Structure 1
Amino acid sequence: MITLTVLTDKPQSPFYEQLLGKVDDYILHLRDKKGSFLVDKQTEKNIKYFINRVMDQPWKNHLLLGVLIYGENKADPVYIESIITTINKRFKDIFEVFSLENMDSFDVENHMYQYLKADVLKEHTDIMRSRLLTLYKPLITSTKRWILSNLDSNSQTHLEKYLFNTPSFDSREFSSFQLSNQKSKDTRKQETDALVNLLPQIRAEGNFRWNQVNRLRNAFLNAREKVTTSKIELPFEFQYDEPDRISERLYFRLWDKASFILHHKDKFGLTTLNSAEKRTGSYSKENNHYFIEFVKAEVINKNEEADGFWFTEILNEGVFGFWHQSIDDIQRKKKK
C-alpha cells in the first residue's frame, strides 16, 4: 500500500508551481508504487488545458484526480484529452443551466439525469449527451479502483470528497441514445455492404501501405539505435531507398522531445524551454521519446516528382486528431 504523504521533494513537471496552491496538495503529490509523481506522467497539452480551462472550476480536483489515475494506468493521452475536454464542457453547461455554484450542490441523479433526458439544453445532440455518460462512468470506476488498491485508509478518506458521484442509471434508460446507436449501426452496415466488391483491391492496397510503414518503422529503429549507441547529437539525418518497383529515396530527421524544443526556441515559452534544457518533467529521461521528421522524397535516377508516403496528403490537410473542433463548415466539407 502507498501512504500518501507530501514529501520535501516535489514533482518535476514544469507546471508544478502553477498547480501548487490551486489544487488539492494530496492529489498534486500522488505517487505510483515506484515513488514517481503521477502529475509528471501527464502530457504537456493535457496539463495546459487543465490549467487554462479547468483550474478555476468547482470540479477541478475531481477531474484532476481521475485523469492522473488514468495516466498512471497507461491510458492513451488522446483519450485522456477527450475525457478532460468533454466532462469539463458538459459540466460547465449543466452548472450554468441549473445555476449551480459548487460540487455539493450538484446532484447527479437530478441535474445530470435531466440533461441526459434532454429536459434542458435541447440544442445539444444525443451524441453529446451519450458521450458524457460514456466517459463519466468509467472515470469513476477507474478512480475508485486505483484508490482502493494503492492508498491507505487515511488517504482514501481524504480523497473521497473528490470522487464524482456514481449515477444509478445507464445509457439503456435513454431511448434516444438507443435510437442514435441503432441508426449508427444501420449506417455502418450500408457502408460496409457497398465495399464487398472492392475487398480484393482494398486488401492489395492495405498490404502495400503496411509494408511501406513497416519499412519506415525499421529505418526509424535503426536510426534510433545508432544515435543511442554512438551518442550522436540530435537531430540526426538519415535516408533509405524504397524497393525498385517504387524507386524512391526518402529523407528524415530523428529528434527527441527536448532536442526539438531547443532547436525551435522561438515557438515555445520560457517554462517549456527551461524544462527541455534541464531534461525535467515531460522532457526527463523517463518521459522522453524519439520521433522523426519527414524531410522529402525523390525519385531515383529520374527527373520526376516523387509520390512519397500514402499518408502525406492526410498530414498536409490536418485531418488527424480533433481537427473538426477548430474549423468552419467550408473547411470541414473540404476535409471530408
Structure 2
Amino acid sequence: MSRSTEDVTNLLERLPGNVDEEILSLESMFPNWKWEAIPQQVSNYFVRNCLGKPWTNFLALSIFVDTHYDKLVPASIFAFLNTMHVRLEALFNWYNIARLNAFDPVRHIGEYMQLQNDVLPNHTVNMRAKFYSHYKGTTQRVFQFINNQLSDQKRSGLISFLLPPLVDNGRFSLRGEAQDQAKETRKDEVEAIVPHYPYIRYLANMRYNIIKRIKKKYQEALGHVQMNNIDMPFTFRYEDQEDKVEYEFKLWDRDSFLAKHPKVGVAKDNVCFLEYIGARIKNEQIEDVDLWFNELFLNKAYSTNANEAYLKEHGYTKSSFVSQQAGIVSPSRFVAQIVSHVEGVFFEVEPIMAACLFGRLAIDVLTTTGARMNELQQINLGPKGMVPLQLPENRTLYELNMIPKGRIEEEHYYVSETTWEMIRETVHYLMEHYNVQKASQIPVVNFNGTRDALLKPKPYIFQLNNFHLNNSSVQACMRFILHGYTLQTNNGDVVNIKAHLLRHAFANHMVHVMKQSKDMVRELLHHKNEIVTYYYSQATSEQIQEHVMDIGKALDAHYKYSQVLRTPEELEEMMGENPIGAYLEVTGGTCVVSAVCPAKLACVGCAGKVPDPAKKDQLIKFIEHNEKSIEFFKSNGQPIEVRKLRNGNMNARKELEEITLIETYRKDATYDPKLTLS
C-alpha cells in the first residue's frame, strides 16, 4: 500500500509531546513493530482529530496494538478509532468530564445505553450499540496485549492511560433493539428511494456531463491564456443545457490570486483553479441553475473543518464528503484555505472530475446489478476481470467477475454496453492521469477494503494516485454527485444514499416495480440464502397499500406479490428442460439470465433484460399489438387475458420511460457548447 513521505513524517513529528513516552517506547521493545507502519487513513485521522484529548494516549496505544498485535485490517482499525473518538468526545462533553480517571464506564456508558435516561437523545440505538461493541472490543484487546506481552513494570507504567473495561455481563447491550430499529429505518429509506430509482441514474449521468463540459472549457481557456501569454485572472463563459443557461467562471493561478489577496497565504507549487461567478438564465422556466456543489464548497464539506450545522441540516455527518484518497472532491491546501479569507466558490477541476467519474460509475453499477460495495470495488482490468461476450447481430455484453460476500470463488455480474462505456471512459481517464498509452499500463494496486486478504493486487478501476479507493472514498463520490437531490422518509428524515441502501432498493425495485420473482432477484444479488432475499425485497408500506387497493381489480397481481418462493425444481417442472440461457436478443433489449427463466418468458418488464434504446420501436409495436389484442379479448369476454395484456403494456411503458432517460443523458453527453473568452 503506497503512502507519502509527508504522511509518515506528519505522524512521527506529531506523536512526541502529544503521546506519552511510555507508549511511544513500545516500538523499541518489539523490533518489527513501527509507528510509521500505522495505516495511512488511521494515522491521518488520529493526528487531525485525536490529539490533546483525555483519551489520546489510550487511542494511540489501541491503534498500535490493533496494527501489530491483533493485525486487524486497516478498515477495521479506522472504524474502531473513529467510533471510539467520536462517542468518547460526546460523552465527556455531556457529563463535563475533564480527566480520564473521572470517567466511569459502568455509570456513564450504562446511562448512555439505557434509553430512558435521555443521555445524548439525538443518538440512535444503532450508534449506541456500535459504541458499546467497539468499546468492549477495544479495551479487551488492549488489556490482553498488556497482560500477555508486557512485564509487570511496563504494565504499571501504562495503567494510568487505560480506559477501564466495561464489566456488565451484557446487560447494557442494545443489539436486538439496534437490529430491529435498523430494519425499520432501512425499510423507510427504501420506500423513499424506490420511486426515484431510474432518476438517480439519470441525474448522475447529467451531472457528470456538466462537469465534463466544465473541464473541457477550462482546458480551452487555460490553453488560450498560455498560448497568448495573457495575465490571470481571466474570465470566460459558455452556454450550457442546450444554450438555455450561460455559466461564467474566472480562471486563476496561485500567483495572480496572491497578488490580489496577499493575506491568503503561500503554496509551494503553482496551481490553476476556477472561481464560479454565476449563471445567467436565458429561459425563465429553468430553475436552480447554479452548480449543485456550490454550497458544499462554501461550507468546506470536503474537510474536517466543515460547517457541521450545514451538514447536519442536509442529513450528513462530518466525514460524509471527506475522501481518504487525495485528489477526490477536496482541492489542494492552497485553494481550500481561500474560503476562509475570500467569499466565493473556488475549486480545482480535477478533484471534482474524479469524484463525478467514480460516483457516476458506482451508482450505475450498484443500481443495475445490485452489487455490494466490496464487489463494486473489485472491478478490474485483469485477464478475467471483464470478459466481452459476443451476441447475435454483432452485439456485445460484458461479464464482470467478482467474489461475492461469503464466497471464495469469482461469480458473474452482467452489465450492458452502456455501463461498459462508462468503464471505458474511466479507463481512459486513468490512462490520462498516469500518463500512459495503454490500459495494460494502469498500475496494479493493493485492494483497500474489507476482505483484502482474499483479494490480490490488480489494476482495479477504482483507483487514483497509485491507491485503491476504499469504501468511504467511493461513498463520498456518490454523495457528491447526488448532493441536493433530497429524499425524505414519511417521517421527514433525510435519506443519505449509501451503497447498501441502493442494494436493498434494487431488490425492492426488481420485485415490486419490475414484478420479478424472488428467485431471479436472489440470483442477481448473489444471495446464498433465500430468506435474506426476502428481507431485502420486502414491500414498503406504500406498496402494500397500493396492492390491497388493486386486489379487486387484478387478481393476477396477487401472485406476483406472493411471498411464496419457488424452488429451481418447481421452475424446471413449469418450464420443462429447456433453459433460456443468457445473451439472447428479446423484445426491447438483451436477456442476461443464465439459468432457467424465472419470469416464464415474460421478457417485457423483466429485470433480467438490459434495455436497449436501439430497440425502442419493438416496445412501441409491442404496445400497439397488445392494444389490438385487448379489443379482441374484450369482445370475446375474456377479462383475464385483457388484464395480462394491460399489465404487459404497463411494463413496456416503464421500459420506454427508462430508455427515454438513457437517450436524454446520451444526447447531453455529446453537447459541446461554444466558449466565450473575455
TM-score after normalising by structure 2: 0.30
Amino acid at match of 1:52: R
Give the structure 1 partner of residue 125 of structure 2: 126
Shift of the 74–48 alpha-carbon distance from structure 1 to 2, 3 Å rule, reads same
Give the structure 2 partner of residue 330 of structure 1: 485
* CA positional deviation for 1:149: 2.0
* Conserved 8 A contact 1:62-1:162: yes
Q: What secondary structure is seen at the aligned counterpart in 2 of 1:147?
A: helix
Where does 1:146-161 land on structure 2 (aligned, <5 Å)?
146-161=145-160
Q: 1:57 aligns with which of 44, 53, 56?
A: 53
Q: What secondary structure is seen at the aligned counterpart in 2 of 1:129?
A: helix
Give the structure 1 partner of residue 20 of structure 2: 24
Give me the whole-angstrom Cα distance separating, in 1, the residues matched to 2:138 and 2:31: 23
Shift of the 18–255 alpha-carbon distance from structure 1 to 2, 3 Å rule, reads farther
The higher relative CO (CA closer than 8 Å, separation ≥ 6) is in 1
* Conserved 8 A contact 2:105-2:166: yes
* Conserved 8 A contact 1:256-1:291: yes
Shift of the 241–110 alpha-carbon distance from structure 1 to 2, 3 Å rule, reads closer
Whether 1:292 and 2:481 are equivalent positions in the alignment is: no
Pairwise CA RMSD: 4.4
Q: Structure 2: where are the runs of 5+ without partners?
A: 1-6, 191-368, 391-395, 399-423, 425-438, 447-455, 463-468, 487-495, 503-678
Shift of the 184–74 alpha-carbon distance from structure 1 to 2, 3 Å rule, reads same
Deviates most, 247-256 or 69-78: 247-256
Give me the whole-angstrom Cα distance separating, in 2, the residues matched to 1:140 and 1:322: 34
* CA positional deviation for 1:323: 7.0
Q: Deviations over 1:298-317 (max 9, x none)?
A: xxxxxxxxxxxxxxxx9999
Give the structure 2 partner of residue 227 of structure 1: none
Q: Deviations over 1:119-159 (max 9, x none)?
A: 21111100111110111111111111122222222111111
Shift of the 57–218 alpha-carbon distance from structure 1 to 2, 3 Å rule, reads farther
Q: What secondary structure is seen at the aligned counterpart in 1 of 2:168?
A: coil
Q: 1:253 aligns with which of 442, 445, 450?
A: 442
Identity of aligned pairs, percent?
20
Amino acid at match of 2:149: N
Amino acid at match of 1:97: W
Give the structure 2 partner of residue 94 of structure 1: 91
Deviates most, 316-325 or 38-47: 316-325
Amino acid at match of 2:122: E
Give me the whole-angstrom Cα distance separating, in 1, the residues matched to 2:133 and 2:84: 10
* CA positional deviation for 1:94: 0.7
Q: 1:46 aligns with which of 21, 26, 42?
A: 42
* Conserved 8 A contact 1:130-1:171: no
Q: Deviations over 1:90-130 (max 9, x none)?
A: 11111111111010111111111111113211111001111
Shift of the 323–156 alpha-carbon distance from structure 1 to 2, 3 Å rule, reads farther
* Conserved 8 A contact 1:251-1:294: no
* Conserved 8 A contact 1:109-1:167: yes
Give me the whole-angstrom Cα distance separating, in 2, the residues matched to 1:59 and 1:205: 41
Give me the whole-angstrom Cα distance separating, in 1, the residues matched to 2:24 and 2:110: 31
* Conserved 8 A contact 1:100-1:106: yes
Where does 1:264-279 land on structure 2 (aligned, <5 Å)?
none
Where does 1:124-273 land on structure 2 (aligned, <5 Å)?
124-174=123-173, 177-182=175-180, 184=182, 216=381, 242=387, 245=390, 251-254=440-443
Deviates most, 130-139 or 17-26: 17-26
Shift of the 316–124 alpha-carbon distance from structure 1 to 2, 3 Å rule, reads closer
Give me the whole-angstrom Cα distance separating, in 1, the residues matched to 2:45 and 2:480: 15
Q: 2:100 aligns with which of 84, 93, 103?
A: 103
Shift of the 41–170 alpha-carbon distance from structure 1 to 2, 3 Å rule, reads farther
* Higher Cα radius of gyration: 2
Q: Deviations over 1:49-102 (max 9, x none)?
A: 111111111100011111110111221111111111111111111111111101
Q: Deviations over 1:262-285 (max 9, x none)?
A: xxxxxxxxxxxxxxxxxxxxxxxx
Shift of the 48–334 alpha-carbon distance from structure 1 to 2, 3 Å rule, reads closer
* CA positional deviation for 1:37: 3.3
Shift of the 123–329 alpha-carbon distance from structure 1 to 2, 3 Å rule, reads farther
* CA positional deviation for 1:327: 8.5
Shift of the 166–326 alpha-carbon distance from structure 1 to 2, 3 Å rule, reads farther
Give me the whole-angstrom Cα distance separating, in 2, the residues matched to 1:326 and 1:111: 40
Q: What secondary structure is seen at the aligned counterpart in 1 of 2:485?
A: helix
Q: What secondary structure is seen at the aligned counterpart in 2 of 1:330?
A: coil
Give the structure 2 partner of residue 309 of structure 1: none
Q: Select the structure that is richer in helix.
A: 1
* CA positional deviation for 1:333: 4.0
Shift of the 51–188 alpha-carbon distance from structure 1 to 2, 3 Å rule, reads closer
Where does 1:63-82 land on structure 2 (aligned, <5 Å)?
63-72=59-68, 73-82=70-79
* CA positional deviation for 1:244: 5.3
Q: What secondary structure is seen at the aligned counterpart in 1 of 2:179?
A: helix
* Conserved 8 A contact 1:241-1:247: no
Give the structure 2 partner of residue 303 of structure 1: none
Q: Structure 1: where are the runs of 5+ without partners?
A: 1-11, 192-203, 220-239, 258-288, 296-313
Shift of the 290–319 alpha-carbon distance from structure 1 to 2, 3 Å rule, reads closer
Give me the whole-angstrom Cα distance separating, in 2, the residues matched to 1:141 and 1:244: 52
* Conserved 8 A contact 1:253-1:292: yes
Aligned residues: 238
Give me the whole-angstrom Cα distance separating, in 2, the residues matched to 1:326 and 1:116: 36
* CA positional deviation for 1:38: 3.6
* Conserved 8 A contact 2:54-2:98: yes
TM-score after normalising by structure 1: 0.58
* Conserved 8 A contact 1:69-1:143: yes
Give me the whole-angstrom Cα distance separating, in 1, the residues matched to 2:389 and 2:49: 52
Amino acid at match of 1:145: Q
Q: What secondary structure is seen at the aligned counterpart in 2 of 1:165?
A: coil
* Conserved 8 A contact 1:29-1:37: no
* CA positional deviation for 1:251: 4.3
* Conserved 8 A contact 1:22-1:55: yes
* Conserved 8 A contact 1:38-1:71: no
* CA positional deviation for 1:34: 5.6
Q: 1:115 aligns with which of 103, 109, 112?
A: 112
